[in-house]
């Protein structure tokens, strides 16, 4: 089996978990991460829509395929 190095994000999360946060803090951390990556995805979709002249109808059609 090949050794894989941990990413910077994985190492940072290990540091957070080493302090044994309580359940409330874990939920807050999960929400922060979900919000961050959701915002990042929405930004990329908006950029692609703008650059490639994608319409709302295109997006709706793709969602229903």
- pTM of the model as a whole: 0.67
**Does residue 23 sit in helix, strand or coil?**
helix
pLDDT band at 11 (very low <50, low <70, confident <90, very high): very high
Mind listing the pLDDT tens digit for each residue in 24-61? 998 999 999 999 999 999 999 999 999 999 998 998 99
In the three-class reduction of DSSP (H, G, I as helix; E, B as strand; rest coil), residue 32 is classed as: helix
Pair 15, 7: CB distance under 8 Å: no
Contact 59, 49 (CB under 8 A): yes
pLDDT, residue 16, reads 82
């Amino acid at each position: 089996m090949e050794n894989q190095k941990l990413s910077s994000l994985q190492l940072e999360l290990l540091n957070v978990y080493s302090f044994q946060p309580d359940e409330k803090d874990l939920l807050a951390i999960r929400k922060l991460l979900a919000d961050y990556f959701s915002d990042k995805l929405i930004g990329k979709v908006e950029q692609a829509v703008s650059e490639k002249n994608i319409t709302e109808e295109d997006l709706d059609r793709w969602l229903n395929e």
